Structure 1
């Protein structure tokens, strides 16, 4: 293997690790209500489409949409699985399965399952999302679901 091939393989591994970190950072940012982390994973002209929850066509609007979601759903827990990532130079696409439990202030606890369809670009050496679209498979109210332990009390536990 020559140096050029070795560098290409190293770039592919580093790119995949960076993209998988973006996917994890998205879940952590929403779950922790972390505006700074959420801001760091998008290019300025990125878009986010969450049917039933909102859409945004740039990073600033994504942050506003997130803040609105956090008021509506102050407890979020995302699990991302099975990322399938295709890298082509400084562009990449991917899909990742998601299972989420939310506490919605109006609906109560709900489970949401679906698939994210993503595009990423590396600009000035930094990978970030350029678009994320959620394909909603299920939104299921968790009737009479009440956690019995943990450090995030839901409204029904505080009454």
Structure 2
């Protein structure tokens, strides 16, 4: 017996028809809009990571944030406002000349023109000081806002799990110097 893949697991054929019959066109349109918003936010995050990995184009990165945005890297510093964020990214290549931002496990909640998101980061990178190969892991907690039809970062917080030398691993050295 093959399961009807259009129907969520655990629903019988009868409950599937009931579930569909109860949905109005307006309900479906709202659900689709939320899904489209989630996809746009994922694209925003992808642009952020791609720009970071392509030598931190500070001007392009700053444009992904609202004028009054916050980029809070905790131990990496806090940057209030688009211009401070731009300056932070202008200096990033001198600190981190190589990085691959791999973000995963997004959980995005949309409420009208505002949204929140949580992502996990796994990042191989190079610390310029000492030319050290490093593994990194952190969590992004983010707030987004739609401005003139476009999703932007309002608040980004990076909480580190580890930044450890490649040759030692996070068990031996949780945070590289």
Q: TM-score normalized by structure 2? A: 0.75
- SS at 1:143's partner residue? coil
For residue 42 of structure 1, the aligned residue among 53, 65, 77 is 65
Partner Cα separation in structure 1 for residue 28 and residue 100 of structure 2 = 39
Say if 2:84 is the partner of 1:64: no
Say if 2:164 is the partner of 1:106: no
Tell me the CA shift for residue 54 of structure 1: 2.2
Partner Cα separation in structure 2 for residue 112 and residue 63 of structure 1 = 23
Tell me the CA shift for residue 131 of structure 1: 0.6
Deviations 1:77-104 (A, max 9, x none): 1100000011111111110000111111
Partner residue in 2 for 1:133: 157
Tell me the CA shift for residue 52 of structure 1: 2.6
Number of equivalenced pairs: 145
Partner Cα separation in structure 2 for residue 72 and residue 127 of structure 1 = 29
Backbone CA RMSD of aligned residues: 1.8
Kindly indicate which of the two structures has a greater share of residues assigned to strand.
Answer: 1
User: Which structure 2 residue ranges, 5 or more long, are not aligned?
Assistant: 1-22, 169-177
User: Which structure 1 residue ranges, 5 or more long, are not aligned?
Assistant: 145-159
- SS at 1:27's partner residue? helix
Partner Cα separation in structure 2 for residue 101 and residue 37 of structure 1 = 23
Tell me the CA shift for residue 6 of structure 1: 3.3
Tell me the CA shift for residue 7 of structure 1: 2.7
Q: TM-score normalized by structure 1? A: 0.83
Instruction: Give yes or no for contact 1:54–1:65 (8 Å, CA) kept in 2.
Output: no
Comparing both chains, which one has the higher relative contact order based on Cα–Cα distances under 8 Å and sequence gaps of 6 or more? 1
Q: Extract structure 1 runs of 4+ deviating beyond 6 A.
A: none
For residue 37 of structure 2, the aligned residue among 3, 9, 15 is 15
